[in-house]
Amino acid sequence: MQVKKIRIDKFLVHIGYGSRSEVHKLIKEKRVTLNDKIIHKPDMHLIIEESKVCVDGGQAVYQEFYYYVLNKPQGVITATEDKRYRTVMDLLLPIDQRKSLAPVGRLDKDTEGLLILTNDGKLTHELLSPKKHVDKVYYAKIRGMITLQDVKQFEEGIILEDGTSYRSSKLEILHAGDISEIYVTISEGKFHQVKRMVMSVGKEVIYLKRIKMGALELPEDLNIGEYRQLTELELKLLKGEKQGDRTL
């Protein structure tokens, strides 16, 4: 096994204890211990697997990659920072805000639901790459009567007047009425895709929520605005290493 050494200041910055200078201050104030001994030098190296690092007595546990799932509420934008609007990052605890996480893909400001936040750039790329065809399932309420003709249209693919084209997608009708309810499964992630596809068949999305990405469903224990780390099983489902046991 490869032994992984890292400077203590880098270790603490990665976990989210602050910027390099903030971490240096913690060390200067004698608040950091390594294997129960106070650390004096920020350039001290440690072996990740064999070291117990504490800050103010609480253990600082290192993970190379972090994977969080957020149940995104309406009203926040999917970005890491913005001058005008609150972002999904503002929903995280300060220690998690400093972990260099980024959202995987984008949900509109008024869209709710499953959003992954990670510092694993390779996985992000794989989940978003058009070549990988990772399915995303949305629940939508729409104004207008959804029809079997719409189902057929979604299946055939859609080309908008401006030339934007959408591959074949699955439209399932949950309820057809003045306000209809549907599931839409798409493998791309184009700008306002579900809203624009629905608009192309003459209806309007009035509520949109992402409920599934790959084989990972939005966890039922997560209320709107809440987030937590993915379990190992959930991460496998997201990576496509395991199949979910029910289909939506």
Q: Show which residues are catalytic.
A: 108
Q: Does 108 bind ligand URA (CB under 6 A)?
A: yes
Query: Judged by CB, which is closer to ligand URA: 17, or 154?
Result: 154
Tokens, residue 117: 């936040």
Q: Does 193 bind ligand URA (CB under 6 A)?
A: yes
Q: Does 107 bind ligand URA (CB under 6 A)?
A: yes
- Under a CB-based contact definition with an 8 Å cutoff, are residues 88 and 102 in contact? no
Tokens, residue 137: 């399932």
How far is residue 196's CA from residue 200's CA, in Å, rounded to a whole number?
6
Query: Judged by CB, which is closer to ligand URA: 140, or 237?
Result: 140
Q: Does 135 bind ligand URA (CB under 6 A)?
A: no
Shortest distance, position 111 Cβ to ligand URA, whole Å: 3
N-terminal to C-terminal alpha carbon distance within the chain: 41
How far is residue 130's CA from residue 193's CA, in Å, rounded to a whole number?
14
Q: Considering just the CA atoms, what is the radius of gyration of the chain in Å? A: 22
Q: Which residue has the tokens 């009035």?
A: 206
Among 10, 141, 170, 192, interactor with ligand URA by CB under 6 A:
192
Q: Does 194 bind ligand URA (CB under 6 A)?
A: yes
How many Cα atoms occupy the beta-carbon half-sphere of 168 within 13 Å? 3
Q: Which residue has the tokens 């709710």?
A: 112
Query: Judged by CB, which is closer to ligand URA: 23, or 77?
Result: 77
Shortest distance, position 70 Cβ to ligand URA, whole Å: 14
Among 111, 118, 169, 180, interactor with ligand URA by CB under 6 A:
111
Residue numbers of the site for ligand URA (CB under 6 A)? 107-108, 111, 192-195, 208
